[in-house]
Amino acid sequence: MADSIIQLSNHVANQIAAGEVVTRPASVVKELIENAVDAGALNITVLVKDAGRTLIQVIDDGKGMSEEDARMCFSRHATSKIASADDLLALVTKGFRGEALSSISAISQVELKTREQGSEMGVKVQISGEDFKENEHIAHSVGSSFAVKNLFYNVPARRKFLKSDQVELRHIVDEFQRVAMAHHSISFRLNSNGSDLFNLKPGPLRKRVVAIFGAKYDERLVPVDEETDVVKISGFVGKPAFSRRTRGEQFLFVNGRFIKHPLMHRAIMNAYEGVLAAGNFPLYTIFLEVDPSKIDVNIHPTKVEAKFEEDQIIFAMLRSAIKRGLGKHNVAPSLNFEQELSISIPLITDGAIISEPKVTVNSNYNPFDTSNSNIYRSKQVSKESPSFSGFEKNSDKELEEIYGMLDSKVSEPVQSLGDLAGDLELKSEKIFHINKRFIATVRSENLVVIDVKRAHERILYEGYLRAGIGGGTIVSQRLLFPEPINLSKADTNLLLDASDILKLFGLELSESDSGEVEVLSVPSGLAGRLQDCLDSVLTALQDGTWSDEEGKREKLAQVWAETGAVSRNGVMSEEEMVDLVNRLFSCELPSVDSSGRASYTVFSSNFIETKFK
């Protein structure tokens, strides 16, 4: 029998390794910037074209390399950072495995120009798919310039799975921000297709954070500072009032290296307990300094994970430090041990008359009189609940104009509902509000329980989608005064790239000559939820689902529906409940919300009877 096991060639092995280290253009940017930092650079420039597909170039003024090192650095496991396994216990550099450059050269065309201090001439090395093409002496400044061209040119299957330019550029910006945040004493510049996205000058951490996210973030930052024998904690957290519904502004660094650590993230979130709205995420840029021998960063190919020897102690200290920081700046409740804790009893003055408490009874109260019952409240009372203003009777005409919805009284049953769609005219004695979240009603002798929020999502989703079919536009509400966008520059650029489709769906943006971006109009009914709209759109932009025109319209319709749907803790009048149910069963697909979750469930009479046997 012939032997079936063979030794893979170095080229194939490096291409396989590249799949772990280089997953997208952003991975190349990360590795090259970190190498520049390790080389002692004070000025680092990153140039990208077509979101890194065509070109990624990183230029630094670090110590540079000799001619031999310039060739050796592309060999697998060639590194200047460690010499033995013991060195892994005291890592202070970003890279150390020697896999990055060999992996990058295996799936791209690389040109390296470099000169080390003391050398009169520099050297240029060209390598394509690990094959050295040229090696010559050139004039070059001290430092290195890596140009990575045509990424994945020899692995078309990998190139095919890259997302849109907007998504890939966003990942590049993320990696750039992480390194720039950790090294605020270094000057960084990021240029995309000839336009500068960032030009960061050296300065203190606060200045770097503000330079990345925008001047308006300065007032949102709360400093955190704590030092113990186990860990030193420093950085900034955001005020709860400026939290957002999307992640992306959370940065955790250990010994200058960005990491993702669920336990430490939970410690930070626990520190906000009681002051942060459910589902929101605060901004934080936290630096932990730990003894290198008590942390292991060699557990993931991209080195974004770490293990702490004393993780529970650090967890408690981190949570405490953030709580203390928030308390000092009066943005979180804190204990005042100097406050008098005794019960305050007012003094009784001389001559005061103390009367016996009496019970007051309304003799005109009639428990059988339903005119004042909560279920028959007046329209004025229901209007006080803004969460359900979309179901007010006087807004029916406006909703029909905006969303093109069907009349609440349909002329024929919806086919997919079968018997349930028969009795669409609800009567008052057949509808109930349960736990401020569900509506219960009876249809064809079956008990139907409807989730209020999901039902409203389905109604809005089909309305927005119907208005956007065939290139139509969503009716928008013009803001009285343009609203400046309080987002980072990277997020703002994402919105501007999608401004055309956003305008069709009612969100109109304007960029001034000074570069400031403002919101001019929002989809009708969402004016009070502008930040939620922007956060939801950014989430959609970042997940790479903008594949085609139809997909964009469906995604935006879903985003607007989820943003505009009522909350689950509001009180509804009977009129509003009837209107909601009738509109739900007028939809084409009433059984699920915009995300495909069940909007109602049915309990048959036979099922109910079995519970009493």
H helices within 469-573, ranges in order? 489-497, 499-504, 530-542, 549-564
Whether residue 122 contacts residue 134, with contact meaning beta carbons closer than 8 Å, is answered with no
DSSP state of 138: E
The C-alpha angle 498, 526, 410, rounded to 5 degrees, equals 105
pLDDT score at 164: 80
Residue 408: phi, psi to the nearest 5?
A: -65, -20
| pLDDT of res. 391 | 41
Distance CA 265, CA 458 (A): 34
d(CA 143, CA 62): 5
Give me the pLDDT at residue 387, please.
38
For residue 189, the tally of other CB atoms under 10 A from its CB is 18
Token pair of 219 as six digits = 């007032």
518: number of Cβ within 10 Å? 15
- Please, are residues 127 and 110 in contact by the beta-carbon 8 Å criterion? yes
- The mean pLDDT of the chain is 78
Bridge partners, residue 31, by sequence: none
Sequence-separated (6 or more) residues with CB below 8 Å from residue 406? 583, 586
Complete DSSP assignment for 320-388: HHHHHHHHHTTSS----TTS--S---PPPPTTPPPPPP-----TT--TT-GGG-GGG--HHHHTT-GGG
Q: Residue 527 and residue 399: Cα distance in Å, rounded?
A: 15
Question: Hey, which residues does 134 pair with through a beta bridge?
Answer: 126
**Higher-scoring residue by pLDDT: 394, 70:** 70
Percent of the chain exceeding pLDDT 90 equals 26
pLDDT score of 471:
52
Between 289 and 368, whose confidence is greater?
289
pLDDT category, 412, cuts 50, 70, 90?
A: very low
Q: Report the alpha-carbon distance of residue 588 to residue 259 in Å, rounded.
A: 46
Q: What is the pLDDT of residues 24-61, one digit of tens each?
A: 999 999 999 998 998 899 999 999 999 999 999 999 99
- The rounded percent of the chain whose pLDDT value lies above 70 is 75
Q: What is the pLDDT of residues 541-567, one digit of tens each?
A: 766 555 566 777 788 888 888 888 887
Name the least confident of 77-86, 220-229, 360-369, 470-479. Answer: 77-86
CB distance 57 to 148 below 8 Å = yes
Q: Which helix (H) or strand (E) holds 14?
A: helix 10-21
What local confidence, expressed as pLDDT, does residue 284 receive? Answer: 94
Say how far apart CA 397 and CA 380 lie, in whole Å. 19
pLDDT of residue 544: 58
Q: Report how far residue 420's alpha carbon sits from residue 444's, in angstroms, rounded to the nearest whole number.
A: 6
Q: Using CA atoms, how far apart are residues 246 and 261, in angstroms rounded to an integer?
A: 18
Task: Output the six-digit token pair for 257.
Answer: 């290296």
Coil, strand or helix: which one is 454?
helix
Domains and CATH numbers, the chain: 10-203 (3.30.565.10), 206-328 (3.30.230.10), 385-613 (3.30.1370.100)
Task: Please tell me which residue, 537 or 147, carries the higher pLDDT value.
Answer: 147
Distance between CA atoms of residues 392 and 313, nearest Å:
54
Residue partners of 145: CB distance under 8 A and separation at least 6: 57, 58, 59, 60, 112, 113, 114
- Region 167-172: what's the mean pLDDT? 88
Cα 598 vs. chain centroid, distance in angstroms? Answer: 25
- Could you tell me which residues come within 8 angstroms of residue 102 by beta carbon, excluding any fewer than 6 positions away? 14, 17, 74, 75, 76, 77, 78, 130
- Grouping H, G, I as helix, E, B as strand and the rest as coil, residue 514 is coil
Q: How many residues does the chain have?
A: 613
Q: Where are the alpha helices (DSSP H) in 22-88?
A: 25-38, 67-72
311-347 per-position pLDDT tens digit: 899 999 999 999 998 888 766 554 444 444 444 455 6
| pTM of the shown model | 0.69
- 439's enclosing H/E stretch is strand 438-443
Instruction: pLDDT band for 394, please (50, 70, 90 cuts).
Output: very low
Return the pLDDT at 5: 77
The one-character DSSP state at 88 is G
Q: Which CB contacts under 8 angstroms, 24+ apart, belong to 481-484? A: 482/510, 482/518, 482/519, 482/520, 483/518, 483/519, 483/530, 484/216, 484/516, 484/517, 484/518, 484/519
Lowest mean pLDDT: which of 114-123, 179-188, 284-293, 569-578? 569-578
3-state secondary structure of 507: coil
Q: Is 532 exposed, middle or buried (0-12, 13-18, 19+ CB in 10 A)?
A: middle
